[in-house]
Amino acid sequence: MKLHPMIAALRKHKAGVVLIALQIALTLAIVCNAIFIIGQRIDRVNRPTGLDESNLFLVTQQWVGAPSADTPDGVAKLDAMQKEDLVALRNLPGVASVAPINSLPLLNSSWNGAVSLKPDAKFSDTGNNVRTTYYFTDDQAMSTLGVKLAAGRWFNAGDVQNQGFRDNPPRPIVIVTKALADKLFPKGDAVGKPIYVDGSSAPSTIVGVVTRLQVPSTGSWVNGFTWNATLVPTRLDAGFARYAVRTKPGQLEAAMKAAAPTLYKVNPLRVLDDDSVKSYADIRAEAYRADVGMAILMGVICLVLLSVTAAGIVGLTSFWVGQRHRQIGVRRALGARKVDILHYFQLENLLIAGSGAVIGIVMAIGLNLWLMRLYQMDRLPVVYTLIGVAAVLVLGQCAVFVPARRASNVPPVTATRAA
Amino acid sequence: MFAYYLDLALRSLKRSPGLTALMVLAIGFGVAASMTSWSVFRAVSGDPIPWKSAQLFVPQIDNWGPSNNPLSQGEPPNAMDYADATALMRDHRAKLQSAMYQISPSVVPAEATKHPINVSGHAVYGEFFPMLDVPFQYGSGWGASDDTNRAQVVVISSKLNQKLFGGANSVGKSVNIESHDYRVVGVLKDWNPQPRFYDVVNSGGFNSQSDDVFLPFLTAIQANMQNDGNTNCNAVPKESGFVGLQHSECVWIAYMAELDDASAVSTYRNYLQGYAREQQQNGRFGWAPNNRLRNLPAWLDNQHVVPSDTKVSLLVALGLLLVCLVNTIGLLLAKFLRRSAEIGVRRALGAPRMAIYAQFLTEAGIVGVAGGVLGLLLTCAGVASVGWVMPKDIAALARLDVSLLLLTLLVAVVATMLAGLYPTYRASRVQPAWQLKSN
């Protein structure tokens, strides 16, 4: 089929053609960026934290009238209280292991700093420092969190110290994540090497490397160090404490229910409210709520957008079919087969949608650049544009099929009748 | 004449119900999507204290110096350290001002059977309440002497008052906070401004849980009540404990001042400049003064309080509306030109172009009204289900009100009429002779 007569015919109804092409271009521009946002959010939500997330819950509690963590005496009392809690939780039926910990990945409450290969590094010395989050925990954390060791060893009971929340004692040994170890020691020989935490002058020896552990924050400000974590074998003593609890399979709910009464039995003077005992699944859902929501919203908008555009194509093509009823009849009378008429409308749509898609690609990239400048979006990869182009072309073909088939069913006898 | 056009339009719309339905659906969905995102955007970008926001200022003092520049690009820290905050309070150069920090103490109910509860709040100076026009149900805030005397007083929220005292006037009664007794001097009315403009650094802007207790700043410091919010340090504090934090350059305190006119603002600016220079001269700052004094709207903007997701959603939804309108232009064009013969007859019988305009714009308007009504229903559904897709604290702010509903209808009708302009223009250009001839 020759394109020339088709283009000549399109010139006869410029406005309709321009409108459909424009609509397809806009649809493509928005859909590409929306699908890109969806893809990014799904990637974000699906990245593993490094924990074994099933059968894990977290208790956050606060003592009332607790001794001050700023005096050695108070720290000793708080530590004794914390140890009592740990023993009680560890003795709960269905509980596999318990570890005190200041935060968990995705909890959005964190203690961050920087580690360096040199002593006494200033925080602002970004050349020598690598940013990291700190997890303060104990020897039970490996089995409780379900993290995997890549090299070296885990903490043993003798390594575990305790400190007041705002104190800053030397930290003789640490475990780091592989991401952090690779940044500090690109040769992969981190175990046994000294590092300096938070500009300290005392070295901390790396005794182990874990394969993966995410930082607690999910905000964009941690993008530079999402996988940089340093584990310190220390119980933090303060007016509040967090305990990570791993249960035996199938015992999660029962153990969660038993946690609060058990702790109240140890010491009733404490705050344990609805939010205090949280399964890890809930922590994850809460952390990514906004991302999942944004993905759903973009999905809904894409769906509406594509439906509206499809409906527009059906509407305008139907109008053209009606307008050209007689011409179709003439063509049929002159020997065109049904399938020729069908193909005519399909090709015509492909032509319009194709030119719309070309404009749409430009608009999609423009919109992406604009979003990048205003809202720190990432660059749109080519593959999303291609998916978008394929989507609008297929959409156009699907939408045009019904009116085109109606056109192909116009009987040749129409040619002989007055319009 | 309008009644006649109305009748014509309804007939025409009835003649092609499929096309009409398509247009109404497109307008309805487009308007509903944009109005739903607008309701969220309006809620988060609104001015929390419109009558006074231009007079409220947030001072920033650079106590970290240029060494922090790689991370901050020259901006001073967005909170204050203890030394600067208390120095500014002592100098007391604004009409009203308050340093404040977030606390999260436990409260022990009087009944022994009830478990202790955890509340959030702020340690503030007495001027906080008049400065922010905080509404009281009972009693009032505390005075300057209570601040300096470190009085054991507290202002509680209506919610906490309900929980502890069953909602009765509790002024003069005592509340056990972190094992100390505080005398209630005031009970707030329901007050939880969004964004939480007095401390956006710690609230992140939006927090559906209100502040339940307000204690005098120095009283809380004396009671060793730790800060609950963010603590940012450029170096590890030399001393340990909460006192060590107070002696460090770590920033953790929010600050707000009321400055009523331009001269007060420039005087205060000079004062900050002088203060920083003084710190430079006595050797604490090794750099030239680098202060900021932004009013509340500028501060909220600077702190990116409106989440970028909300802005992107609004933008995408407006894009959807645009596509729906282009779609409507196309469909109206098809619909109007299909009736070229009818137009030809009308024109031949003497109808002026204006009459054609009136007839077809009426038709577009009807489509707009129908789309608007559908849009209203969908907007209601959208606002109701926004909690599924937005963070809780933000979704709670999206409200349906008369102005939103009227706006929905207005946008639908105006947009459809605009979309109808070009098709109507084309319809009015139909040559009567040509139409009559071909028939």
- How close A157 comes to chain B (CA, Å)? 26
Taking a contact as any Cβ pair under 8 Å apart, which residues of chain B between 324 and 383 contact chain A? 324, 326-327, 329-331, 333-335, 337-338
Contacting residues of B for A315, CB less than 8 Å apart: 18-19, 22, 330-331, 334
Q: What local confidence, expressed as pLDDT, does residue A125 receive?
A: 66
pLDDT value of position A129:
83
pLDDT at residue A123, rounded to an integer: 67
Task: For residue B340, give the chain A residue with the closest CA.
Answer: A323
Res B13: pLDDT: 80
Contact state of B319 with A26 under an 8 Å Cβ cutoff: yes
Chain B nearest-CA distance from A375, in A, is 6
pLDDT for B439 equals 47
Burial (CB < 10 A; 0-12, 13-18, 19+), residue B434, is exposed
Distance CA B22, CA B418 (A): 18
Residue A398: the pLDDT is: 92
Other C-beta atoms closer than 10 Å to the C-beta of A183 total 18
- Decide if B22 and A239 are in contact by the 8 Å CB cutoff: no
Mark which residues 84-113 of B lie under 8 Å from A by CB: 104, 106, 108
Residue listed under structure tokens 């064009």: B333
pLDDT of residue B235: 81
ipTM above 0.85, yes or no: no
Question: Per-residue pLDDT for chain B (439 aa), expressed as one digit of tens each?
Answer: 778 888 888 888 888 888 888 889 989 999 998 898 888 888 888 888 889 999 999 999 999 888 766 667 788 999 999 999 999 999 999 999 999 999 989 898 887 778 888 899 999 999 999 999 999 999 999 999 999 999 999 999 999 999 899 999 999 999 999 889 999 999 999 998 888 899 988 877 777 778 999 999 999 999 989 888 788 888 888 888 888 899 999 999 999 999 999 999 999 999 999 999 999 999 899 889 999 999 999 999 888 888 888 888 888 889 999 999 999 998 888 888 888 888 888 888 888 888 888 888 999 999 999 999 999 999 999 888 887 777 777 777 777 888 888 999 999 999 999 999 999 998 888 887 776 665 4
Query: Two tokens at B420?
Result: 């109808």
Closest partner CB to A62 (pick from B68, B118, B338): B118
Looking at residue A260, its pLDDT comes to 92
Q: What is the mean pLDDT of chain B?
A: 88
Closest partner residue to A271 among B116, B315, B324, by Cβ?
Answer: B116
Cis peptide before B195 (omega within 30 of 0): yes
Contact: B326, A124; criterion CB under 8 Å:
no
Task: Pick from B73, B104, B230, B320 the residue to mutate for testing the A interface (most A CBs within 10 Å).
Answer: B320
In chain A, which stretches have pLDDT less than 70? 1, 123-127, 418-419
Chain A residues closer than 8 Å to B337 by CB:
319
Cβ–Cβ under 8 Å, residues B425 and B334 = no
Domain chopping of chain B, boundaries? 2-47+307-438, 63-258
Please give the pLDDT value at position A23.
92
Packed helices A14-46 and A338-375: angle between N→C axes, nearest 10 degrees: 50
- Distance between CA atoms of A3 and B360, rounded to whole angstroms? 36
Q: How far is B235 from chain A (nearest CA, A)?
A: 6
- The reported pLDDT for the residue numbered A239 is 87
What's residue B70's pLDDT? Answer: 63
CA angle A300, A302, A304 (to 5 degrees): 70
The minimal CB distance from B323 to the residues A298, A305, A419 is found for A305
Contacts of A198 in chain B (CB under 8 A): 236
